[in-house]
Amino acid sequence: MFSKIAASAADAELRDQVARHALAADDLHQLLRGWGRLSPEVALRVAPILLPVHAAAAHDPELAILAREFDDNRRS
């Protein structure tokens, strides 16, 4: 259990370092490459939350509000 937690923490630190480096680029091509590497990882973490919320939003007014907030925040 401890090694799994330690590995997860190490992975998170590495991801943070990569994100900071990629998104702090001065070169436009390097910046776009950084966003390209970061976007799929973010999608993998966010999709399991967004997909069920959007699916349930058709049946639950509170989840519909939450889904709209997610969409609004993503676009801003």
Domain boundaries, the chain: 2-75
Q: Which two tokens stand for residue 51?
A: 């997909």
Query: CA 20 to CA 52: how far, in whole Å?
Result: 30
By the 8 A CB rule, do 68 and 76 touch?
Answer: no
- pLDDT per residue as tens, the chain (76 positions): 434 444 466 567 767 766 666 666 678 888 888 888 888 888 888 889 999 999 999 999 999 999 999 999 877 6
Determine the pLDDT at residue 39. 82
